[in-house]
Structure 1
Amino acid sequence: MQSTDKTTPEKSKNCASNRIKDVILQRICDGTYAPGQKLVELQIAKEFATSQAPIREALSQLEAMRVVETQPYKGTRVREVTSREMQECLEIRGVLEQLAAEKMGDRLLPRMDELRAKALETVAAAREQNAQKYGFANIEFHRIIVEASGNATLMIVWETIAPEIRMLSLAHSNLFNLEECAQEHMEIIEAFAENDNRYAGKLLKLHTETVLVGVESPGNPST
């Protein structure tokens, strides 16, 4: 009996590169790979017991996401971020999430418990002053809201800046009050619970501005 497995070498390579990309991205986002750290293809290939081809493809995808950068004769490094870049990303995120809230209708209702759970995770992490835990829960909190918009294009645009926001938040976590930001999550939930999506959208925009105040404070690098 002939095998029905139609997996091709090219498809297998793509699966490997995507898996490796996700692992590297996770390590960048949680601080395992620090800003400016060099990522050596050969070392990563040995770790994953693979050739350098899927590693190269994974790094290429990460470069397109602006989380790593490659320079001739210098190799690939985790991209170092600036407060100016964070300002730009946060401004875009605020607009996108306000729009998501205004357009979602009642699509968030089945996920309210999930949203509240993520908000409570940010509250707990903020009390512990654990920027890493806060960052993961925070991204998931906002992702749930954007997904509930039902707007696929909006989701795609938001996803393109989500890893960068996560990196920037970790790098600049000392610039904003985690407990204040976490409390604002609870206020956003209350607005959604009262079916006031427009007000929730306004709160999401103001929430972004809370973070921006810290980033834009005098003395913070802007380049």
Structure 2
Amino acid sequence: MTDAPAPASRIVPFMQATTYQRLREAIRADIVAGTFAPSEHLKMAALVQRYGTSPAPIREALGQLEGEGWIEILPNRGARVRSIERAFIRELFEIRLALEPPLAGYSAAVATVSDINALWAIHKDYAAAIGQGNSAAISSTNGAFHTSILSIRPNRSALVLLDQHNAFVGATRRRFGFPDHRLAAMVPEHEAIIEACARNDATAVRRLMRAHIQRSIDELIPRLPGNDPDHLES
């Protein structure tokens, strides 16, 4: 994701801007990895020590991460990692339901033999990760599967948004995991999507992808903290 242009009153040297970007990515990666837990306060002294830099670029990085939704900056209380709750993840899934099925359909309509072979290769690694019970590999190969489909006929603006949202969902999955019955069901669901792509059947891919995402929502959302009573309709 590219940074928005800095206001004229706050133009910084190129090397400083690079430092801000690197810090933003490092802090974001630590949040995703669970180094900083949801709702944890980020103390400036600890951040300075961890990243080996001064407070100024850390403040800039935190401001950027607030804009992305990763943290909250509270008046007189500093920065806090955003709490991953049911309502928030539900909202992200609603956006994904609106975007990913039609985008996958566009990709399916133009998928080539080479594209299909690439999807089968990713799926093979995904199925192997499930068989091994390797949570990290399950998460990464599942993400690669979805990204690869959408990259066949990319809508780059939509992909930027989905990538940002998927990082939140991925962090949530690493914390709450997949139940065994959901993992087993995802293998044939992926296979059906690939087979429909191989037929260039955009209608079937849109339907299958929506059902695939919906089943994951129905399994994950009830297990998240929060009092949001809403649910998504199929």
Q: Fold match, TM over 0.5?
A: yes
| Aligned mate of 1:42, from 40, 45, 58 | 45
Q: 2:94 aligns with which of 82, 91, 96?
A: 91
Equivalent residue for 2:141? 137
Alignment of 1:57-72 (within 5 A): 57-72=60-75
CA contact (8 A) 1:125 1:133 kept: yes
2:37 pairs with 1:22? no
Query: What per-residue deviation string (whole Å, max 9, x for no partner) do you get for residues 90-117 of structure 1?
Result: 2221221111122234256544344333
Q: 1:108 and 1:61 mapped to 2: Cα distance?
A: 39
Aligned partner (choices 165, 172, 183) of residue 168 of structure 1: 172
Which among 33, 36, 43 is matched to residue 33 of structure 1?
A: 36
* Corresponding residue for residue 127 of structure 2: 123
Whether 1:112 aligns to 2:98 is no
> Counterparts of 1:43 and 1:35 in 2: how far apart (Å)?
17
Q: Please, which of 189, 196, 201 is the counterpart of residue 194 of structure 2? A: 189
- Identify the residue that residue 4 of structure 1 maps to in structure 2: none
Q: Quote the Cα distance in structure 1 between the aligned partners of 2:150 and 2:60.
A: 29
Identity rate of aligned residues, in percent? 25
Q: Residue 88 of structure 1 aligns to which amino acid in structure 2? A: E
The equivalent residue for 1:5 is none
- Distance in 1, Cα, partners of 2:21 & 2:187: 32
Q: TM-score, normalised by structure 2?
A: 0.78
Rounded Cα–Cα distance in structure 1 between residues aligned with 2:146 and 2:49: 36
Root-mean-square deviation (Å): 2.8
Task: Decide whether aligned partners of structure 1 residues 50 and 219 sit closer, same or farther in structure 2, where only a CA change above 3 A counts.
Answer: closer
Aligned length: 216
- TM normalised by structure 1 equals 0.81
Cα contact 1:83–1:221 (8 A) shared by 2: yes
- The answer to whether the aligner puts 1:177 opposite 2:182 as a matched pair is yes
User: What does residue 3 of structure 1 align with?
Assistant: none
1:12 to 8, 15, 20: 15
Residue number among 154, 157, 161 corresponding to 1:157 in the alignment:
161
